[in-house]
Chain A
Amino acid sequence: MSLLDKLDAVAAARKALLPEGIDVFGTPIEEVYSSTEARIGDRRILFLGTNNYLGLTFAPECLAAAHSAIDNEGTGTTGSRMANGSYSGHRALEREFADFYHCHSCIVFTTGYQANLATISGLAGVDDVVLIDGDSHASIYDGCRLSGAEIIRFRHNDMVDLEKRLRRLGDRSRSTLIIVEGIYSMLGDRAPLADIVKLKDAYGSTLLLDEAHSLGVLGKTGQGLVEETGLIDKVDFITGTFSKSLGGIGGYCVSNHAQLDQLRYVSRPYIFTASPTPATIASTRAALKLLHDGIELRQQLWKNVHQLYSRLDDLGYQLGPEPSPVIAIILDAPRQALMLWKGLLDHGIYVNLVLPPATPDGRSLVRCSVSAVHTSEQMDHVGSAFAELREIIFE
């Protein structure tokens, strides 16, 4: 099969799964009106498929900071952090993230994807083992591949399976990096962090926690699962992203291990890419302050989460195992998921469609992402649409 034949096979598989004329993956957003509303085609729609958990993309403080940074520092850095791309804002954001987590140090990366790529490939090498949850994000899998380490999966959130695999490693468990997520992006469930920490300690391993979906969402000051569980001192490395609760793009790694700083000299995804733009850094710094102080935003977010999760549960939809800002509706077949996705769009609601092989166990998902700035009326509208569509989807 030639290079281009492989892509033709992808096109054929996509055509078999999705009808003509519906651009499910890469839906064009024509205009954005606010954190929760936009125009698709000629229709005003409600965003229920973004990761804008705190609704900060239009926060006046973030907009003002970004505008000012563009005016004062230009549109881009045009260089790597290793060269000309470390402005005072980049270094300030690193200090602020380290303070936020009460940690020794932080490194800021250009995207959340690169934060995992750079951290994992910088920490683990060919003689090491990475032990990852089966439902891990693609950035974790790709970081592991880049590291050259031996990659072993354990069953999603299954502590018996994790212990079995640590036991099988013998002495190698001491050169093993366990990687889990605060909230998993597909089903919205949390890692059982206390049990993972116990195993990590018992086997002398190192633990990396990705708080991409839990930053700003869990814990009194929004640190994530580490704060909710009170286990921040037990986690070796925390990674996360600016592109969800912080409403920007970029990523970070914080740690109390002094060696973290050395990643700057060995991580290719850190070295060989341009640093985040001044506007991104400035809006993220403003957003981090709002996130830290955003107790009321978190309260409103969780109120919205419980309202929608309960409504969908009452309607008989099969949902992810626990309420979270990621609410996954699990469907038996891709066609059913596509019908629900299209039906919601016809009701003026945009959600995410996730089809195999990107899903756990080959299931099809319609994934809702709840925001603190969704109004009660918007949540009611969503509930009514799901109620109406239920009869069509399951008939």
Chain B
Amino acid sequence: MASDYTDVLQKLCHHLKQFCEPDAQITPQTDLIHQLAIDSVKLLNLVMEIEDEFDISVPLNALADVQTVHELANLIHQIKSAQQ
């Protein structure tokens, strides 16, 4: 399970790089809005890409609780695990 989460986190960071400044430092604790300037429109576009990558649908309701990269990775991991 841990390796699944790590895989999700790696892939998420790869997608995130396309939505923020080239020199942005991305760690699990990085705040999406305040540190990476991912606004609501960018977040929805990012989520669409992630959904395709993992063949999942992320409910909008669940995104309200997401602030950090770790929280988003954890959400994706949980949805993917529930689907399997």
Contact = CB atoms under 8 A, between A and B. Distances in A.
Contacts of A150: 59, 61
Contact of B41 (A145, A152, A357): A357
A253 to B, nearest CB: 23
Interface residues on chain A, size class: 10 to 19
B57 A152 contact: yes
Interface residue SS majority, chain B:
helix
Contacts of A145: 61
B84 interface: no
Interface string B24-37: 00000000000000
B40 interface: yes
A297 B48 CA distance: 41
A130 to B, nearest CB: 9
Contacts of B56: 168
Interface string A164-178: 110011000000000
Contacts of A361: 41, 45
A153 B60 CA distance: 8
Interface string A129-172: 00000100000000011000011110100000000110011000
Interface in B51-84: 55-61, 83
Interface residues on chain B, size class: 10 to 19
A356 interface: yes
Nearest to A144: B60
Contacts of A155: 48
B13 interface: no
Contact of A151 (B41, B45, B61, B83): B61
Interface of A: 134, 144-145, 150-153, 155, 164-165, 168-169, 356-357, 361-362
Interface of B: 39-42, 44-45, 48, 55-61, 83
22 contacts: A134-B44, A144-B60, A145-B61, A150-B59, A151-B60, A151-B61, A152-B57, A152-B58, A152-B60, A153-B44, A153-B48, A153-B60, A155-B48, A164-B55, A165-B57, A168-B55, A168-B56, A168-B83, A356-B41, A357-B39, A357-B40, A361-B41
Given A168-B83, A356-B41, 5 more contacts: A151-B59, A151-B60, A152-B58, A169-B57, A357-B40
